[in-house]
Amino acid sequence: MSYRTIIEPFRIHSVQDIAFPSLEEREAALRRAGYNLFGLHADEVIIDLLTDSGTGSMSDRQWAAMMVGDESYAGSRSFYRLQEAVQDLTGLEEVIPTHQGRAAERILFATTVEAGDVVPNNTHFDTTRANVEYQGAEARDLVIPEGRDPAADHPFKGNMDVAALERTIEEVGAERIPLVMVTVTNNSGGGQPVSLANLRAVREVCDRHGLPLFLDACRFAENAWFVKQREPGHAQRTPRAIAREMFRLADGCTFSAKKDAIANIGGFIALKDREVAARCRNLLILTEGFPTYGGLAGRDLEAIAQGLEEVLSEDYLRYRIRSTEYLGEKCRAAGVPIVWPPGGHAVYLDARALLPHIPAAQYPAQSLAVELYREGGVRGVEIGSVMFGKVNSDGTETPAAMELVRLAVPRRTYTQSHVDYVGEVILAVAERAADLPGYRIVEQAPWLRHFTAIFAPVVDGGR
Ligand SMILES: Cc1ncc(COP(=O)(O)O)c(C=O)c1O
């Protein structure tokens, strides 16, 4: 069909009410939550773009699959359905379900990473970084320079800097690198894709040094769609064929089924190495559950298996990537700086560019995220120095490479008018950007502080 409007490729079958808290209620909620949007009750939020993780709408086929879930403790039929779906997609024989992505990370890193090791990645996601660091190892981000510049237009800003990877291997020695990871798409770097050519180049370096290559594959289908659209020679291929090629370049992957399996919970590790898989399963039994359910119900395994199939539909991916791009274009047309081009699952507002009067030490992206909620009940998340700033031993902080607010679009959940509303709220906040205050942290945890930190506005520019 030759019409310009790309419509949602589904009808809505069941709906949930949205709450409409007043401005006074939103301000009270902010004060109660210590200006941390993770502390809000979901019913205090009008449009929730905190995450695309576990917030998607399942299809009628997923709900139907859940009804036939087999809840057997050992050898559940639902596990074998999932195992087959994952093996077919990834070509990886060993499939280990986990309750979500970070459980897969913890188990894989506890099994393979030692203190003093270095794990290269294009950009570690927050839980990935934390789980590497928890083993006493260094999580090193090696994305290409364009991936650190919000305004740089590049079709594959998630690519790994292959020369920097070579230099890292030379500097630390292959024996201190247990594995190389590539995150597709690169969430913390703006949801930007990785090209197949780049994955092949990383594979070649890994082969030369005898290093295993793992994908953090949460958004593998969105990445495959970008390859189809942007990488020469792939336009005629199906997303499934591209995804299969991506996985076949890897020795293993971690996966959060809350993203590109459109499930509300779940994850897995898949890998080739039987010996590493056996060690992972031993740890899994200790903390997650028996290896044929890994902390999930049989019905969850069914929903994931079904979702892995649906997510590769061209109609779905065309709509999915277009709806994120639509929000990005709205921001850009209004002169609001964003990471360009828009990512697959989210639009990232560039708070450093929008709020130049707030120094990194006063968390400009936190300020912008708070204001979007105050103004219109829109909840995004800070991806800047609160999340990735490094607290030094003398109490000073090294700021993050970028100060972003991520507006993540849940899958199949909001319609075009919801997105139009979000566009209006962003505009209203941008018009009074110069008046927004900085924030300071009053209380914080030693790891992943952004989830629980308490903030206070900085009054009159002082601390
Ligand atoms: C790239 C990436 N890796 C890992 C994870 C962790 O997955 P989970 O939230 O299921 O633990 C996420 C979650 O957002 C992610 O985006």
pLDDT of 106-131, one tens digit each?
Answer: 999 999 999 999 999 999 998 999 99
Which pLDDT band holds residue 390 (cuts at 50, 70, 90)?
confident
Predicted confidence band at 1 (pLDDT cuts at 50, 70, 90)? low
Mutate to test the pocket of ligand 1, among 218, 222, 253 (most ligand atoms within 8 A of CB): 218
Q: Is the CB of 125 under 6 A from ligand 1?
A: yes
Measured from the CB, is residue 218 less than 6 Å from ligand 1? yes
pLDDT digits (tens, 9 = 90+) for 172-185: 999 999 999 999 99
Say whether pLDDT at 168 is over 50.
yes
- On whether the CB atoms of residues 373 and 352 are closer than 8 A, the answer is no
Residue with CA nearest ligand 1 atom 6: 101
CA dist 275 and 25 (Å) reads 55
Q: Tell whether ligand 1 has an atom less than 6 A from the beta carbon of residue 267.
A: yes
C-alpha dihedral, 155 to 160 to 164 to 166, nearest 10°: -130
Q: Is the CB of 53 under 6 A from ligand 1?
A: yes
Taking alpha carbons only, the member of 145, 231, 230, 141 closest to residue 188 is 141
Q: Whose Cα sits closest to atom 15 in ligand 1?
A: 125
| 129 CA distance to ligand 1 middle (Å) | 11
CA of 101 to the centre of ligand 1 (A): 5
Cα–ligand 1 centroid distance for 126 (angstroms): 8
Closest CA to 332 of 146, 193, 151, 189: 151
- The yes-or-no verdict on residue 446 having pLDDT over 90 is no
Evaluate if residue 461 carries a pLDDT over 60. Answer: no
| Closest residue CA from atom 3 of ligand 1 | 125
Nearest residue CA, atom 14 of ligand 1? Answer: 53
Ligand 1 mean position, distance from CA 102 (Å)? 6
The reported pLDDT for the residue numbered 49 is 98
User: Quick one: tokens of 307?
Assistant: 């979702």
Cis status of the peptide bond prior to 185, with omega within 30 of 0:
yes
Counting from 1 in the atom list of ligand 1, the atom nearest the Cα of 102 is 11
Query: Given pLDDT bands bounded at 50, 70 and 90, which one contains residue 221?
Result: very high
102 lines ligand 1 (CB under 6 A): yes
Span 324-352, pLDDT tens digits: 999 999 998 888 999 999 999 999 999 99
Using only C-alpha atoms, the chain has a radius of gyration, in whole angstroms, of 21
For ligand 1, say whether the CB of 306 is within 6 Å of any of its atoms. no
Residue 5 CA, ligand 1 centroid: distance in Å: 31
From 361, 349, 322, select the one nearest 407 (Cα to Cα).
Answer: 349
Could you report the per-residue pLDDT of 249-290, keeping only the tens digit for each?
999 999 999 999 999 999 999 999 999 999 999 999 999 999
pLDDT in tens, 419-443: 999 999 999 999 999 999 999 999 9
Over range 365-375, report the average pLDDT: 98
Cα separation values, 127 from 121, 133, 228, 445, Å: 13, 10, 29, 14
- The burial of 90, by beta-carbon neighbours within 10 Å (0-12 exposed, 13-18 middle, 19 or more buried), is given as buried
Residue 221 Cα to ligand 1 middle (Å): 15
Q: How far is the CA of 267 from the centre of ligand 1 (A)?
A: 9
How high does pLDDT run on average in the chain?
96
Beta strands in 234-279 (DSSP E): 252-256, 267-271
Interval between CA 218 and ligand 1 midpoint (Å) = 7
266 CA: nearest ligand 1 atom:
10
- Ligand 1 pocket: which of 181, 220, 256, 260 to mutate (most atoms within 8 A of CB): 256
Please tell me the residue having the least CA distance from ligand 1 atom 5: 101
**Which ligand 1 atom is the nearest neighbour of the CA of 256?**
10
**Residues 56-92: tens digit of each pLDDT:** 999 999 999 999 999 999 999 999 999 999 999 999 9
Residue 462 has pLDDT above 70, yes or no: no
Locus of tokens 């794990």 = 119
Who contacts 39 (Cβ-Cβ below 8 Å, separation ≥6)? 32, 33, 452
Q: How far is the CA of 254 from the centre of ligand 1 (A)?
A: 9
**pTM for the whole thing?**
0.94
The rounded Å distance from CA 463 to ligand 1 centre is 33
Residue the block writes with tokens 């990383």: 202
The CB density around residue 137, as the number of other CB atoms within 10 Å, is 21
127 lines ligand 1 (CB under 6 A): yes
Burial of 353 (0-12, 13-18, 19+ CB in 10 A): middle
pLDDT of residue 463: 42
Would you state the torsion angle of the CA atoms of residues 161, 100, 219, 185, taken in this order, to the nearest 10 degrees? -20
Residue nearest to atom 7 of ligand 1 (CA): 101
* Structure confidence at residue 203 (pLDDT): 98
Helix (H, G, I), strand (E, B) or coil at 192: strand
